[in-house]
Amino acid sequence: MPPGGRAETECGFPYSRNVAIAADAVSPVRRIKQPRSRKTYDALIETGFKLLEQNDLESVPIAELAKAAGYSVGAFYARFQSKDEFFNALIAHHLEQRARARDQLLSKAPDHSLIDELISDFVAYYWNRRRFWRAVLARSSHDARVWEPIRQDGREFDNKLMDRMMQRAGRPLTERERTNVSFAFQLARGTINNAILNRPGPIFIGHDLFVRNLARAFRLVSDYDRLIGIGGSELGSTP
| Calpha distance 17→82 (Å, rounded) | 27
Cβ atoms of 26 and 6 closer than 8 Å = no
83 SS3 class:
helix
So what's the pLDDT on residue 80? 93
36-73: pLDDT as tens digits:
678 899 999 999 999 988 888 788 899 999 999 999 99
Q: How far is it, in rounded angstroms, from Cα 49 to Cα 192? A: 19
**Domain ranges for the chain:** 1-108, 111-239
Using one digit for the tens of pLDDT, what is the confidence trace for 166-223? 999 999 999 999 999 999 999 999 999 999 999 888 999 989 999 999 999 999 999 9
pLDDT over 90, % of the chain: 67
C-alpha pair distances (Å), 117 with each of 100, 166, 206: 14, 19, 16
Interhelix angle 130-142/175-198, nearest 10 degrees: 110
What is the model's pLDDT at position 32?
53
